Structure 1
Amino acid sequence: MANSHLDYNLQLLNHLRTILVALGEAEQVPEESHALFLERFDELLTLLPQNPLKSQYLGQDLICQVIQRYPQIAHLVPRDLLWFFGGDCLHFMPDDELDLYQRLEERRYEAEQNDEPFDWNQEKQVLSLQPGPPH
């Protein structure tokens, strides 16, 4: 069950990488530093499946850098990746979104504990239609 969640986030990272490559091909960013950044991004894609916990900080750093270095594509960074890596990435999420993801994570944990199937995207849609807890 946990592997499917990791696989899902790896798919999102690969999608984000294609956006970053396209950005470089469109010559929208300095080529040399962009190439180095893509190398680090590829390092994350390699390390994450091998050791998700050890690559957490690298992921946080890179996702935050995408938003800061490439503001023109910040809106294309999947929100799920901000939550997945946590830490400083959470600063880019408003409170109501954090509440939604917290409830989603609790549902995922509950499903895992009960050996029940869990569809992250489906649950996210269901939860986004429900009002969150009052602040």
Structure 2
Amino acid sequence: MVSKNYFDHNLALLAHLRGLLVALGEREQIPDESHAAFVQRLDELIIALPDIPEDRHLGQDMICQVFHRYPQVAHQVPRDLLWFFGGDCLHYMPDEEISIYQQLDERRHEAEAQGQPFDWNQERQLLELPETSSRH
């Protein structure tokens, strides 16, 4: 079971990605029907995902398609979404990054099991600091 805060965080990231794609369509020459249909499918995913959170294969497909269809914004796809959807999305993450996300997930599960709050963004920032730096 995915915690509501973690799930909501990723839904917000999907909405952000949607905004990037809409803006891209407005400023670049993209086949309108194809682009509009893709954005519509993303809207459907955002609406349906809360009802079927364990069924992430559609999200995996959509995120992978962003990399293929819109390479000009691939670097702006939130990394958290790659981890959230998993599967083929993980091909776009280096091993070091996957390791960080595995640690994050472990910390999140530990906190949830103990009934403690978990701030995904704060914990991710702590893990991404170089090992030689001080973690205050």
TM-score band (shorter)?
Answer: over 0.9
Equivalent positions of 1:22-37 (< 5 A) are 22-37=23-38
How much is the aligned-residue C-alpha RMSD, in angstroms? 1.1
- The one-letter amino acid paired with 1:121 is N
Runs of 4+ in structure 1 deviating by more than 3 angstroms, as ranges, are none
The whole-number CA distance in structure 1 between the counterparts of 2:72 and 2:64 is: 14
Q: Give the distance between the partners of 1:21 and 1:73, measured in 2 at CA.
A: 11
Residues in 2 aligned to 1:71 and 1:27: alpha-carbon distance in whole angstroms: 13
Deviation at 1:50, TM superposition (A): 1.2
1:88 corresponds to 2:88:
yes
Q: How does 1:69-108 map to 2 (within 5 A)?
A: 69-108=69-108
Mapped pair 1:15 → 2:16:
yes
Instruction: Structure 1: give runs of 5+ residues left out of the alignment.
Output: none
Cα-to-partner distance string for 1:71-90 (whole Å, 9 max, x where unaligned): 00000000000000000000
> Secondary structure at 1:72's aligned position in 2?
helix
Segments of structure 2 that go 5 or more residues without pairing to the other structure are: 132-136
Partner in structure 1 of residue 117 of structure 2: 117
Residue in 2 aligned with 1:40? 41
Equivalent position of 1:68 in the other structure: 68
Q: Give, in whole Å, the separation in 1 of the partners of 2:130 and 2:89.
A: 24
User: What residue in structure 1 maps to residue 134 of structure 2?
Assistant: none
User: Number of aligned pairs?
Assistant: 130
Question: Cα deviation per residue 1:35-81 (whole Å; 9 max; x = unaligned)?
Answer: 11011101100111111112x00000000000111000000000000
Q: Displacement, 1:111?
A: 0.3
Partner Cα distance (1:74, 1:9) in 2: 17
- TM-score normalised by L of structure 2: 0.92
The Cα of 1:26 is off from its aligned counterpart by 1.0
Identity of matched residues, %: 62
User: Which amino acid in 1 is paired with 2:103?
Assistant: R
TM-score, normalization by structure 1? 0.93
Shift of 1:28: 3.1
> 2:129 and 2:24 mapped to 1: Cα distance?
34
- Which has the larger displacement, 26-35 or 91-100? 26-35
Report deviation, 1:92. 0.2
